[in-house]
Amino acid sequence: MNSEFRMIDNLRQAFATMSMEFGPKLLVAIVLLIAGRFVGKWISEIAGRSVRRFHLEPPVHQLFVRGVNITVFGLFAIMALQNLGVQLLPLIAGLGVAGAGVALAMQGVLSNLAAGFMIIFTKPFRVGDYISVAGEEGQVAAIDLSNTILSHRDLSRVVIPNRKIAGEILHNYGRIRQLDITLEVAPNTELDVALTTMSEVLRDNPRCLKEPAPPIAVTGFEKGVIALSAKPWVDLADYPAVAGEVRKAMVTALRARGIVAPAPIQAQIMEAKSPR
């Protein structure tokens, strides 16, 4: 029993000695970490406001703010470790070895990040542009460091890893798209009248852009059919609806001026409507 009491007394004395020796250092280290948390947040907010005039992309701005916060907190953490007497060189060497292993295990993630930085800084497209890349197309909804999100007209979204975009052939339509409207008329049609009518329809439609001017021309003549084409530009938001709207208006306007579809097509329509 005496030996057990002696052991407990020794442990108590050792704990008291360690508390007297390391307690203040531990308390200072905790205070430094807490201060680093608040100071890092404060400085990162100031840095974020100061770089807004450079109009950085949202992911770059967010990364910069987080980098400043982590850097400031890291400096306070180093001071806390030094206050505790921790040797930093072996710790840094160990972190380097661990970092190399993590890098090998996360090659795909790191390649996405590298491609994300290249996309953000080279700016081949921006949020809101309509692009076609890697077999997919859609309006750019978001650009992150690891992936790019495209939105479709059916309200679905496609997430493309940035490494699939970097180095690929990319078609950027920008913020507008061009419609391709083709109508067929009879061979005896007054072409000047028909082309003028199509031009008036585009001019009167408020959703068809006046600049750039839409090309309107005769694009084909085959088997007794003349093809007339109009290619107006519209905003991305109007693209799904304007095509049908313009076709209907053009057909109505042409009919009002006596310009109708070729006879073979009319015959097919009548045959389809006749009772069996």
- What pLDDT sits at residue 87? 67
- What pLDDT sits at residue 130? 92
- What pLDDT sits at residue 270? 37
Could you list the beta-strand ranges (E) of 33-179.
Answer: 130-133, 136-143, 147-151, 157-161, 171-174, 176-178
CATH level 3 topology of 176-273:
Alpha-Beta Plaits (3.30.70)
Radius of gyration for the chain, computed over Cα atoms and rounded to the nearest angstrom: 35
Residue 155 DSSP one-character state: S
Least Cα distance to 202 among 191, 216, 189, 182 occurs for: 216
Q: Provide, for the chain, the percentages of residues in helix, strand and coil under a 3-state DSSP scheme, each rounded to the nearest 5.
A: 60, 20, 25
- What pLDDT sits at residue 249? 93
Residue 225 to residues 41, 66, 183, 187, 201: CA-CA distances in angstroms? 71, 64, 10, 6, 22
- What pLDDT sits at residue 90? 66
Q: Report the half-sphere exposure of 44 (CA within 13 A, side-chain side).
A: 19
Q: What is the pLDDT along the chain (276 residues), one digit of tens a residue?
A: 556 656 666 666 666 665 666 667 778 788 888 888 888 888 888 888 887 776 666 766 776 788 788 888 888 888 777 777 766 666 566 566 565 555 555 556 778 888 888 887 888 898 889 999 988 889 999 888 888 999 987 889 999 999 889 888 899 998 888 999 989 888 888 899 999 999 999 999 999 998 888 999 998 887 778 899 999 999 988 888 888 899 999 999 999 998 887 655 443 433 334 344
Domain boundaries, the chain: 2-86, 125-174, 176-273
Give pLDDT tens digits for 82-115.
777 766 666 566 566 565 555 555 556 778 888 8
- What pLDDT sits at residue 111? 80
Residue type for position 44: S
> What whole-number distance in Å separates Cα of residue 69 and Cα of residue 30?
18
Dihedrals φ, ψ of 172, to 5°?
-105, 110
- What pLDDT sits at residue 268? 40
Residue type for position 187: P
Class of the CATH-defined domain 125-174: mainly beta
For the whole model, what pTM was predicted? 0.60
- What pLDDT sits at residue 195? 93
By CB atoms closer than 10 A (0-12, 13-18, 19+), residue 63 is middle
Give pLDDT tens digits for 244-271.
899 999 999 999 998 887 655 443 433 3
As beta bridge partners, residue 125 has none
> What whole-number distance in Å separates Cα of residue 244 and Cα of residue 252?
12
Coil/strand/helix, residue 248: helix
- What pLDDT sits at residue 274? 39
